[in-house]
Chains A and B, each alone.
Chain A
Amino acid sequence: MEFTFEFLSQLFVTSLGHWYVIVPAIIIGLVIGAIPGLGPANTLIILLPFTLSLEVNAAMAFMVALYCSARMGAGIPAILVNIPGTAGAAATPFDGYPMTQKGMAQQALTMSFVASAFGGLIASIFSIFSLPMLARVGYYFHSVEMVVVMLFGLTLIAVVSTGNTLKGLIGGFFGLLVGAIGPDFIYSAPRATFGFLELYDGVPVVAALIGIFAISEALLMIEVESILTEAGKTRMAAQSPWAATWEGVRMSAKRWWHIVWTSFIGLGIGVVPGAGAPIAAFVAYQQSRLFSKHPERYGTGHPEGILAPESANNGVTSGSLIPLLTLGIPGGSTAAIMLIVIQFHGIVLGPRIFLDMPQFPYGVLMGMVVTYLFMVGTILPLARYMSRVTLIPTQYLAPAIISFTLVGAFSPRAYIFDMGLGLVFGVIGYIARKTGYQVSAILIGVILGPYVERYLMRALRISEGDPTVLFSSTIGNVLWVLLALSLILPPVIERLRKR
């Protein structure tokens, strides 16, 4: 294969030709991303008969566009009503929601769109040029390194998400233990199921997400008439319709370098199978705060607090497709569905694809580039209209959130039990929010719980039960040191700053 300008421009034109599937996919993705419980994986399963009927390149363009826009859509409710559409957007409300309360929802949404689109665009362009190299990253991460990556991610979340590290860690480890409900990986012996058969498969993540974020937020929301503060209402009434969008664009453009480097964090973490968008978003948020001149502004509606997680979680999209395209290993559920469609069309993924059919993996990534370009033009104008959601009184908003998100909890497994479980998590989330335990740490713990156990078991079985295996790899040890530093440094820096 010759990696020439002609080859790339040919791919670009071919991808542009798939506009007829990309544009509807962007719209569907935005909507399903914004509704907790309806992730891209569920939607792609529903739309499987449609994607299977398309020619393979068009089908991939459709799925990739839906995947990318769903990632972007998840930030919309996170900013507007403090409820992330997916766990990947769990760091976005830290600064997005305070901006909304100040009457700057339109600016916050615009920044989220710009960061998502350009973060994703930069990561996918870089992926095109470094695809074979990036594919090797996955080889260096085995079960030991993955255990440390997961614990490192959780620790970062605990440190970042609340002013009190101890409370953050309690929330995170509580989540990890909840995530370990259900069968173990060797004997399938049920653990801590409270006698419910429905928990024999483990805790459904969607019900946990909906309860911890949406139900608890609705329970809190009823205390006030509007989610906007008085100053926020005045600001919303005073600002001209399009000026706020431009202000958001200007705020993003001023911080362009921030979008660039956080997108690379997303790409790097996305390449590691299993790490995913939640960890990328929190790592980017933490790094952004660490290197900021004004770390005290984070959590109060600081623009960089929106740009960092949104750019990173869209950087993950191209990264997470790399193990699929180069090795045929799906990095997540959405990638697994893509693999089904690819196999249906008789394409065998693996290292030989670069010799036999190079236009396919590069074409998929080029489809992503085109999707992000389309997104910039189609979504930015919508910020103005979406921000109006904040004007709806909470007496209408809270019941609507409860009924529609509970339906989201039901849809993945079709168990009424999951709706009830969503309510239980809602009460836990409400207690946590009211008493200063960050709900993001709990949720990420629930998500990572099964992964931590799986990788830990693999490592221990390989070492025949020797726990020192966890300190046997160089990369793992470096990560352990970073984990320790992430716990020790913030209070030390805080004390030094106070002096």
Chain B
Amino acid sequence: MSDILILGGRVVDPASGIDAARDLMVRRGRVTAVELPGRLTGAKAKETIDATGMVVAPGLVDVHVHLREPGQTYKESIKTGTMAAAAGGFTSVVAMPNTVPVNDSVAGLEWMLDEARGACVKLFAMPAATFGSMGEEITDFHELQRAGAVGFTDDGKPVLEDRVMRTALEAVAGIGVPISQHAEDTRLTGGCSMNAGQVAFRLGLRGMTVEAEARIVERDIQLLREIEREEGLRPHLHVQHVSTARAMEAIRRAKREGLHVTCEVAPHHFTLTDEAIGDYDTNAKMNPPLRVEMDRRAMIAGLMDGTVDCIATDHAPHARFEKEQEFERAPNGITGLETALGLALRVLHRGEGMVLSRVIELMSAQPAGLLSLEGRGSLSVGSFADVVIFDPAAEWSFEAKASKSKSKNTPFDGATLLGRVVYTVSEGRVVFKG
């Protein structure tokens, strides 16, 4: 007997090129059959889900989340963060290492990935690229990868020194995982709390320039080029949360050149501009900051033409008291797991005409492929039974207070979203029911 039957839905599985009516059978945590409607009708199951009118897609994959555990569980925990992930249709999330202490050791990584943390969806982690994310000495990539690391990053900060970044890139070249770079030249952004430009000038806030992002992206691409030429190695550079047209263009060219560069864009960067800060709304403060319309359009262009490899949320919960401070003092970051799909469908699918399967691909198959997450991001037989079932036509208003996250710091409170998750299944278990 199977565990779950999902009948009557429209299966959208970009990895296997399916976008058609199919029924799905799940057993022992894996997809065991994907069949034409009717063929599985006689099968017995512990649970049968009627997915009529729904999209049945691979569970979404987010390569960039902050779950705040260990050390800052007043903001979020692995348990609550993954509950928010499940509510947003995500079944795999990659935790960033800027916890307290920084996740830079095998012991720290194993502790984080331990079942006892209570993750309700599959948890992956990227440990720090350098000890303490201090940007000086690289961590033990080989040992960490054996313990489950899917990449290395000092997220929140860049790996700034050329020499250190080069060492890090060379070190990942042989092991098939990326260096994931937070591209910000922090020598140019001291005291800055938003995008540089007319809005920052009017609000009297110091702004982060386009150069601060682009220079690091361009520098890193140059390093890839040198490493390939001088060492014959092809390391994988992943650029996190691209926000400027200039950095996007640099990545586009590097890809054309054949360098191994990938990148992600966050939903807020293709949805909002720095005008959203309005009257110093700290829930519109994050790093990289919201940019101008020209940059927002460039994010969309990159998503449309394939320069962007995946959508990632940069889910960054903060407690209310931390956001209720002077704008310059409030921490950077917004939550994002529960609004990502609804924004992508509203802005990219409905707004820009991106086909549904492409939106799904950018949120499942591609991020899974990027980090070689075996058996994730696909509904092909044998894959993990990670499934999201959503109503693609449902328009609804997101309520921050109803969020599963411990924190409610989102600029999308009350925003209209398109597409509502009704079921999330992680390895054959229903982990969210809308």
Partners in one complex: no
Chain B contact residues, CB within 8 Å of chain A: none
Chain A contact residues, CB within 8 Å of chain B: none
